[in-house]
Amino acid sequence: MLQVITIDGVSGSGKSSTAKLLAKQLGFCHLDTGAMYRTHTLMAIRSGLKPDQYDELGRLAEKLDFSFSDAKELMVNGKPLPSEIRSPEISSHVSEYCKPHEVRKVMALQQRKLGLSKPCVAEGRDMATVVFPDARWKFYMTARPEVRAQRRVKELELAGHSVKYEEILRNLGERDDKDSNREHAPLKKAENAVEIDTSDLTMDQQVSTIANLVRSAP
Ligand code: DC
């Protein structure tokens, strides 16, 4: 079976930090597919493309060449991913831009290629259901909306953005809705994925819960 750990789940469930730490601990690459879609959205907006320009968005996706650095982090066209991909502006637009089939099929192919090239922790929405149905370990992370919004506020404030809790809570809810109800590759728990509710877990507990399950089911 494929040496890939998939972590799918809603925004703010702790996927990204958990995936990053878990990858470090196990010496795996960190395949942050949300960051790939965010990079595509940033480039699309910079190029003046609208979310309904499906063919142009697909062609833009083809021009983005993702790879792993020596430090096992994602790069785009040989460079680190731009920090702007985490801005509130990109967060509020990414669900629209990542929806078209023309974009998803190109990105999924790249993700699959990266996952086949090295053992990795693949984090996203459709990792277990679409991109890596043959992954060896599958996890699905959830958390209560209020907890997720508080975490996101802290994260953004630390990164120097000034944000409002209510706005973040609303943005998370809207994104969950769009990600779960879109036509292509919606957010969905795979039947054989292990569900982990992180609402009352510390980051250390989230990472060790998954690491222990991975080690006990080699
Ligand atoms: O995990 P994140 O918040 O960085 O993801 C950004 C957006 O990309 C989010 O709206 C869902 C979308 N996404 C997706 O549709 N499929 C993936 N595999 C990963 C992310």
The finding on whether 152 has its CB within 6 A of some atom of ligand 1 is: no
Interval between CA 195 and ligand 1 midpoint (Å): 18
The finding on whether 33 has its CB within 6 A of some atom of ligand 1 is: yes
**What type of residue sits at position 82?**
P
Atom 18 of ligand 1, residue of closest alpha carbon = 124
Rounded Cα–Cα distance for residues 41 and 138 (Å): 27
Atom 20 of ligand 1, residue of closest alpha carbon = 34
The finding on whether 98 has its CB within 6 A of some atom of ligand 1 is: yes
The finding on whether 14 has its CB within 6 A of some atom of ligand 1 is: no
Q: Quick one: DSSP state of residue 82? A: P
Q: Which is nearest to 91 in space by CA: 152, 46, 6, 31? A: 152
The finding on whether 125 has its CB within 6 A of some atom of ligand 1 is: yes
Torsion of CA 103, 129, 115, 136, to 10 degrees: 180
Rounded Cα–Cα distance for residues 116 and 1 (Å): 11
Report the pLDDT value the prediction gives residue 203, as an integer from 0 to 100. Answer: 92
The finding on whether 37 has its CB within 6 A of some atom of ligand 1 is: yes
Report the pLDDT value the prediction gives residue 43, as an integer from 0 to 100. Answer: 98
Tokens of 13: 């469930």
10-residue mean pLDDT series, the chain (218 residues): 92 90 94 97 98 98 96 94 93 93 98 96 96 96 94 88 91 87 88 95 94 86
Q: Of all atoms in ligand 1, which is nearest to the CA of residue 131?
A: 18
Stated as kind and residue range, the H or E segment containing 181 is helix 165-181
The finding on whether 30 has its CB within 6 A of some atom of ligand 1 is: no
Interval between CA 215 and ligand 1 midpoint (Å): 27
Report the pLDDT value the prediction gives residue 48, as an integer from 0 to 100. Answer: 98
Which pTM was predicted? 0.92
Report the pLDDT value the prediction gives residue 218, as an integer from 0 to 100. Answer: 64
Interval between CA 123 and ligand 1 midpoint (Å): 9
Place of tokens 């992370």: 141
The finding on whether 179 has its CB within 6 A of some atom of ligand 1 is: yes
Strand partners, 76: 66, 79
Tokens of 141: 């992370």
Interval between CA 200 and ligand 1 midpoint (Å): 23
The finding on whether 10 has its CB within 6 A of some atom of ligand 1 is: no
Strand partners, 138: 6
